[in-house]
Chains A and B, each alone.
Chain A
Amino acid sequence: MYHTLTWMLWLGAALLPAMITRNPLYLTILLLAVAVAYKTLGRLSPMAASWSIFLKAGLLLAAVSVLFNTLTVNYGDTVLFTLPLLSLRIGRVPLLELGGEITLEAIVFGLTSALSLVAILLIFATFNVLVDHHRVLRLTPAFLYQTGMIASIAIAFVPQMVAALQDIREAQAIRGHRFRGIRDLLPLFVPLLTTGLERAIQLAESMEARGFGSGTGDQTGRHRTLHRMLIAAALFGLLVAAFSFGYYADSRWPSAVLGVASIGLLLGNVFVMSRRVKRSRYRRELWRRRDTLVSAACVASLFVVGGFWLLNMEALVFYPYPKVSPPEFNPLIGLAMLAVVTPVLTAPQKRRSPT
């Protein structure tokens, strides 16, 4: 329905606020917007059934989050009531304390975390239901072509392997094999592995016959070494940034700059390395006008949320401790949350008809 790149941008625009803000107002707007997209667009997909089970599991996890916070955190000013304290200690170090003072702050914190978790799961449910996974895999950087090739071989062979398993099971059933316990899996496993590896030999031979590995290694050794040295330097920079980020929590700017610069160096390397690999495409995806619209909305949303993240993080943070207070609301951020609903608005009419 949309270009894969559009869906990736949509995922970014939805996921970034869901992961960095705990403000219940923004999260509620986001959750409702994603739910609209899921309900209107995702319901037609065959995968929706398996994801609805998953979402129920997510609700359970969210409930655990609320309960765990309520019972183990006794911090906060608004004490609702007091339960008997169950304490578990090793020596003098308290390992876990259950019960005690139940505070409103802990409940609120648990609820906002649960909201964030449910939003993340719903975003991924929508993404998985609507996107074509094989096309997502095609977005792997070009210089990883060997891994990409392994992954495509595997994807092509999964149905064959499932069919082979079925064949083996039938062949063994004719010989009187019955499945009674885990031990009876052996007559299924070993033939499966053997046929698989035999097929791998055939595949390798046919790949050799078609000239695999003869002309793609177009990087000279010196370039490669330079790239790898730069990558090592970028990783080292990231490591230093991560540590200094933790140590100097008061002044996080220098380490943030170092981290961003290292990531830039890393991505630049990846880009240059990918440019060196020539890749041809058989079929290109269509980029339609609605893709432009949705992408523009998502980029704008990313821009707003990312800008607040870097410049004014406090506008996004909601922290109930030590005393809970109503969350702030910035209309601009609230509007940015609505970007994820644009795929519904620009979707072709006939597909949107309710079934």
Chain B
Amino acid sequence: MSFLTGRGLSALILTLATLLGGIAFLYPFFVPQQRGSAGGFMAHAADAPVTFLILLLLCLVVIIANLETRQMDSKVVAVLGILVAINAALRLIPGPAGFTAMLFLPILCGYAYGADFGFLLGTLSLLVSAVVTGGMGPWLPYQMFSAGWMGMASAWLPPLRRFGRVEVIILALWGAVLGLVFGAIMNLWFWPYLVNVGASNTHGQPGAGLWATVGRYAAFYLTTSLWWDMGRAIGNFLLILLFGAPILQLLRRFRKRFQFAID
């Protein structure tokens, strides 16, 4: 019973919500590959985008609610608020193609301050930036989710501090990979509008369903989105490579001053 009340329950909720969020992102690849006679299946494919958008919103609320069941320290609230503000301001820096300066701070903070911090920083930065610039859209839950995941996943990297200079290089490569992944999953919100999801084995080869869908997505990604996302990946790489070390040093110095109790 005690397992179910404390951290175990928290981890369970987080896992379930993340799984659901993953389904919401990836459903275009898993819609059953059968063409029903009429109605039923086609209808199912047609209402999938709205169903999964609602699902994603619910998951976001649940994950955030799960993170804040404990009373947060005033310092955590203040630091998160200010870092979110800085990150939203950094988004205004223009750059080539898909470049954005707002992903590297969640990555570094997630790595230095932990998964919860990274998730909230990533998620709230996108929300605040959308509020400030007036850019709310169907993509916003997807953006919030993926940026939050990036901050969270960065906390799972092993501590690399003992490797010295290599730490920043590994983080920079990690940032580049995440920049590409961010682009790949952000395309998914409009992917059902580009192709006829579900009826993809239209060439008459049964069994090629999932792979055909993935293949078409890969082809679409390589021909259009990759060049755009390259800007973001290279931007992340350079930003972390050049500024990672001083920023990490700064974050660790302030961590001592704040005596962070977040974990």
Q: List residues of A whose CB falls within 8 A of some B CB.
A: 15-16, 19-22, 47, 50-51, 61, 64-65, 68-69, 72-75, 88, 90, 93-97, 109, 113-114, 116-117, 120-121, 124, 127-129, 133-134, 136-137, 141, 143-144, 146-147, 149-158, 160-162, 165, 182-183, 185-186, 189-190, 192-194, 196-197, 199-201, 203-204, 207-208, 212-213, 216-217, 224-225, 228-229, 231-232, 235-236, 238-239, 242, 245-247, 249-250, 252, 263, 266, 270, 273, 309, 313-314, 316-317, 319, 321
Complex formed: what's the CA distance from A19 to B65 in Å?
Answer: 28
Complex formed: what's the CA distance from A273 to B190 in Å?
Answer: 34
Give which listed residue, A157, A182, A316, contacts B46 with CB less than 8 A: A316
B181 CB within 8 Å of chain A: no
Residue of B nearest to A16 (CB): B50
Residues of B with C-beta under 8 A to A156: 85
The residues in B between 226 and 263 inclusive whose CB is less than 8 angstroms from any CB of A are: 238-239, 242-243, 246-247, 250, 254, 257-258
Taking A157-B82, A162-B89, A196-B82 as known contacts, 8 extra A-B pairs with beta carbons closer than 8 A to each other, sorted by chain A number, are A47-B134, A88-B219, A94-B208, A144-B64, A151-B124, A154-B124, A201-B75, A207-B77
Q: Are A153 and B86 CB-contacts (below 8 A) given A113-B194, A235-B17, A317-B39? A: no
Question: Are A321 and B199 touching (Cβ within 8 A)?
Answer: yes
Question: Are B71 and A217 touching (Cβ within 8 A)?
Answer: yes
Question: Are A136 and B131 touching (Cβ within 8 A)?
Answer: yes
Question: Are B62 and A65 touching (Cβ within 8 A)?
Answer: no
B157 CB within 8 Å of chain A: no
B165 CB within 8 Å of chain A: no
Residues of A with C-beta under 8 A to B211: 93
Question: Are B85 and A94 touching (Cβ within 8 A)?
Answer: no
Give which listed residue, B12, B30, B55, B250, contacts A246 with CB less than 8 A: B30
Question: Are A192 and B86 touching (Cβ within 8 A)?
Answer: yes
Question: Are A69 and B196 touching (Cβ within 8 A)?
Answer: yes
The residues in B between 1 and 54 inclusive whose CB is less than 8 angstroms from any CB of A are: 4-5, 9-10, 12-13, 16-17, 19-20, 23, 30-32, 34-36, 38-44, 46-47, 49-50, 53-54
Question: Are B128 and A154 touching (Cβ within 8 A)?
Answer: yes
User: Which secondary structure characterizes the binding site on chain B?
Assistant: helix
Give which listed residue, A50, A88, A319, contacts B134 with CB less than 8 A: A50
Q: Are A200 and B66 CB-contacts (below 8 A) given A225-B5, A239-B19? A: no
Q: Are A165 and B89 CB-contacts (below 8 A) given A96-B216, A249-B34? A: yes
Residues of B with C-beta under 8 A to A20: 46-47, 49-50
Residue of B nearest to A209 (CB): B74
Residues of A with C-beta under 8 A to B74: 204, 207-208, 212-213
Give which listed residue, B10, B43, B77, B136, contacts A149 with CB less than 8 A: B77
Q: List residues of B whose CB falls within 8 A of some A CB.
A: 4-5, 9-10, 12-13, 16-17, 19-20, 23, 30-32, 34-36, 38-44, 46-47, 49-50, 53-55, 58, 61-62, 64-69, 71-75, 77-86, 88-89, 92, 120, 124-125, 127-128, 130-138, 190, 193-196, 199, 202-203, 205, 208, 211-212, 215-216, 218-220, 224, 238-239, 242-243, 246-247, 250, 254, 257-258
Complex formed: what's the CA distance from A258 to B169 in Å?
Answer: 48
Complex formed: what's the CA distance from A137 to B128 in Å?
Answer: 9
Question: Are B138 and A124 touching (Cβ within 8 A)?
Answer: yes
Give which listed residue, B42, B64, B73, B193, contacts A116 with CB less than 8 A: B193
Residues of A with C-beta under 8 A to B4: 229
Question: Are B215 and A196 touching (Cβ within 8 A)?
Answer: no
Give which listed residue, B55, B83, B238, contacts A242 with CB less than 8 A: B55
Question: Are B78 and A144 touching (Cβ within 8 A)?
Answer: no
Complex formed: what's the CA distance from A74 to B137 in Å?
Answer: 33
Residue of B nearest to A321 (CB): B199
Question: Are A246 and B190 touching (Cβ within 8 A)?
Answer: no
Residue of A nearest to B49 (CB): A19
Residue of A nearest to B64 (CB): A147
Give which listed residue, A157, A185, A207, contacts B85 with CB less than 8 A: A157
* A302 CB → nearest B CB, Å: 12
What are 21 inter-chain pairs, A to B, with CB distance below 8 A?
A: A19-B50, A69-B194, A74-B203, A93-B215, A94-B212, A96-B216, A147-B120, A157-B85, A185-B243, A186-B242, A190-B243, A194-B250, A196-B82, A197-B82, A201-B75, A228-B69, A229-B9, A250-B36, A263-B54, A270-B65, A317-B42
Question: Are A94 and B242 touching (Cβ within 8 A)?
Answer: no
Complex formed: what's the CA distance from A158 to B39 in Å?
Answer: 50
Q: Are A124 and B62 CB-contacts (below 8 A) given A204-B79, A317-B39? A: no
Question: Are A317 and B46 touching (Cβ within 8 A)?
Answer: yes
Question: Are B31 and A161 touching (Cβ within 8 A)?
Answer: no
Complex formed: what's the CA distance from A116 to B45 in Å?
Answer: 14
Q: Are A150 and B77 CB-contacts (below 8 A) given A94-B212, A129-B134, A266-B62? A: yes
Complex formed: what's the CA distance from A116 to B189 in Å?
Answer: 13
Residue of B nearest to A313 (CB): B43
Question: Are A189 and B68 touching (Cβ within 8 A)?
Answer: no
